[in-house]
Each structure stands twice: as C-alpha cells, then as structure tokens.
C-alpha cells in the first residue's frame, strides 16, 4: 500500500518533533515565507498539495526518512530532474540477483 502525502507529512512531522517543530524548521529555511503550524495543519486536514520547494526542505529536515519521490511518485522526475537521473544510476548499480533454480 502506498502512503498518501498526508500520511507522509504526518510521519515527517513526527520525525521533526511535531507540527509546530516542522513549521519552525521550514520557516528557518524560508524566512521570507514563514510556515505556521496552521499551514501544516491545513496541508494535513484539507489534504492540500504541498508546494515542491517545501517537500524538498521536508526531506532534508528528516534526513531523507521521507523522500520527494514518496511525496510525488508520479511526477517527481519533472519537478526534480536530478532525482530521475539518480534513480537510473541506482538501478544500474544494484547487483542483479541470480534466478532461483528449481530443484
């Protein structure tokens, strides 16, 4: 089951120390556009879209425990082209598991 962006935001807030802590940490990163706890609440309760710049900041705040790809699985490649390239590199670097032989 894929988590919704609301589930992911709730998880990120837990990791950051709560909605108020997440709001404060986002405000530190965006001092010209402060984020209030009420805005976080609205993103959760109204199932509102979270702007991509905040998603990238949330990923950094929680040290990648919640990722941009998880928040935007269908369009992260268009928003963050660097991630699409990284995903392709990661796929090539994974060792291939040999096929299981039937006994």
Q: What is the length of the chain?
A: 103
pLDDT digits (tens, 9 = 90+) for 6-22: 999 999 999 999 999 99
Contacts 24+ apart (CB under 8 A), 80-88: 80/52, 80/56
Domain ranges (residues) in the chain: 5-82
pTM of the model: 0.79
**Of 58, 77, 79, 78, residue with least CA distance to 67:** 58
Q: Which fold has domain 5-82?
A: 434 Repressor (Amino-terminal Domain) (1.10.260)
pLDDT digits (tens, 9 = 90+) for 27-60: 999 999 999 999 999 999 987 789 999 999 999 9
């Amino acid at each position: 089951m894929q988590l919704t962006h609301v589930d992911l935001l709730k998880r990120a807030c837990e990791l950051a120390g709560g909605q108020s802590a997440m709001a404060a940490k986002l405000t530190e990163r965006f001092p010209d556009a402060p984020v209030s706890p009420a805005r976080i609440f609205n993103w959760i309760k109204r199932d509102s879209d979270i702007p991509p710049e905040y998603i990238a900041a949330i990923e950094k705040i929680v040290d990648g425990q919640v990722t941009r790809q998880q928040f935007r699985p269908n369009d992260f490649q268009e928003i963050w082209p660097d991630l699409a390239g990284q995903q392709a590199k990661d796929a090539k670097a994974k060792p291939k598991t040999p096929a299981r032989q039937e006994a």
